[in-house]
Amino acid sequence: MRLADLDYALPPELVAQEPPAARTDARLLVLDRNSDARRHARIIDLPELLRAGDVLVLNDTRVIPARVHGRRPSGGRLELLLVRPLEREAEWEVLVRGTPRPGESVHLVDGHGEWIAPLQGGTWRVKLVVDGPVLVWLERVGEVPLPPYVARPSGPTVHDRERYQTVYAAAPGAVAAPTAGLHFTPALLAAVAAAGVELRTLTLHVGPGTFQPIRTDTVAEHVMAPERYVVSEETAERLNDARAAGRRIVAVGTTTVRALEAAGHDGRLRAGAGEARLFIGPGHRFRMVDALLTNFHLPRSPLLALVAAFAGWDTIRAAYDDAVRRRYRFYSFGDAMLIT
């Protein structure tokens, strides 16, 4: 597949700028990837759309307020996105908007940093000297790292900090939300469980690899930046038992798919920590996922390539065109699709 083929027309007004009034107000396009049949429902209908015996797998990563503003000694402004801690204490990998220089300082709120060196993939290594642990400092001075297509002229709000986070977020470390999970409430999760669906979690800390665009001429040439994941012994055991019994594994979000396919590349899910480097595009053979709940994704993006691999690009393109005609809301704060 050429990158130019992984495209579709989207009117700008369909890009959701705000979450729905309630998390469960989202619409849901239900797509059968075998028959191409589509029907239109709502997220609140999910307990009736899943099967008793299914295992619903959720990514419990927690978004950190990873965006901070700084200044160079000359006064020039810099914007930092703290991606992940590195092996040395207080050293982080960051994406930076501006022009850092090795050895130069960056002035931050309640602290400063020192640029050490550029890293592969366009990020930098920076040493932070701040008041207290970095994660605690970020909670005090950082901003919610909303996607660039969500316009906030005055910056993210307190409301964004709550709504750009799943209700089951537990492990801090993501710089973007696993957005398919934003639709769930404790009540909806309880209703899903009451319908006979087993709930399991894993952790994949969403990093730049998830949201950076594909820039190669062909989709298969794209290289994903690694993202850290953890699969517990209990989750691995329960999912392996479910597969052996012929029960469906339903992934909530593309990040959950990447963790499952990386940790279960041979068809058996392995417990433990690792880095998901797998790029999933057309031609990928799925070994751990049978159904997928996901939002609608950007053209020419790794996430759209994954969904195209799961259901076939022609099927997905027709479903997206249908969603546009029916005025679904797109992207992080938008509506959802259940691919069975």
| Assigned domain for 12 exists | yes
Domain extent, residue 326, equals 3-63+161-339
Between 254-263 and 302-311, two packed helices, what is the crossing angle to 10 degrees?
A: 70
Would 149 be classed as within a structural domain? no
Judge if 286 and 208 occupy the same domain: yes
Decide if pLDDT at 208 tops 90.
no
Please state the pTM of the whole predicted model. Answer: 0.95
The verdict on residue 151 lying in a domain is: no
323-to-41, 119, 326, 335, 338 alpha-carbon distances in Å:
12, 40, 5, 9, 13
Domain CATH number, residue 126:
2.40.10.240
> Taking 90 as the threshold, does the pLDDT of residue 230 lie above it?
yes
Q: CA 315 to CA 250: how far, in whole Å?
A: 19
Local confidence band at 23 (pLDDT 50, 70, 90 cut-offs): very high
Structural domain count, the chain: 2
Task: Report the CATH number at residue 36.
Answer: 3.40.1780.10
Give residue 38's pLDDT: 98
Is the per-residue pLDDT at 209 higher than 90? Answer: no
Using the predicted structure, report yes or no on whether residue 63 has a pLDDT greater than 90: yes
**Spatial CB neighbours of 59, under 8 Å, sequence gap ≥ 6:** 166, 178, 181, 201, 202, 203, 204, 206, 252, 253, 255, 256, 259
At 197, the pLDDT band (50, 70, 90 cuts) reads very high
Look at residue 152 and tell me if it is in a domain. no
73 lies in the same domain as 207: no
Amino acid letter for position 259? A
| Continuous H helices in 57-166 | 134-141, 158-163
pLDDT at residue 299, rounded to an integer: 94
* CA–CA gap between residue 6 and residue 281 (Å, rounded): 11
pLDDT value at 225 more than 90: no
> Do residues 188 and 294 both lie within one domain?
yes
Q: Is residue 169 in a domain?
A: yes
pLDDT tens readout for residues 111-140: 999 999 999 878 999 999 998 999 999 999
Q: Residue 209: which of 284, 125, 280 has the closest Cα?
A: 280
- The end-to-end CA distance of the chain, in Å, is 23
What is the pLDDT, as a whole number, of residue 108? 96
Are 76 and 42 members of one domain? no
pLDDT at 47 over 90: yes
pLDDT computed for residue 88 by the predictor: 82
pLDDT score recorded for residue 122 = 86
Boundary residue ending a domain (107, 141, 175): 141
The pLDDT value recorded for residue 212 is: 82
Both 179 and 291 in a single domain?
yes
pLDDT tens-digit readout, 316-334: 999 999 999 999 999 999 9
- In a domain? residue 250: yes
- DSSP three-state, residue 325: helix
Query: What pLDDT was estimated at residue 161?
Result: 95
Task: Let me know if residue 150 belongs to a domain.
Answer: no
248-285 per-position pLDDT tens digit: 999 999 999 999 999 999 999 999 999 999 999 999 99
| Section 19-29 average pLDDT | 97
Q: Is the pLDDT confidence value at 211 over 90?
A: no
Asked whether residue 197 falls in the same domain as residue 302, the answer is: yes
Across the chain, mean pLDDT equals 95
SS3 5: helix
Asked if residue 154 belongs to a domain, the reply is: no
* Shared-domain flag, residues 108 and 123: yes
Token readout for 93 is 């990998």
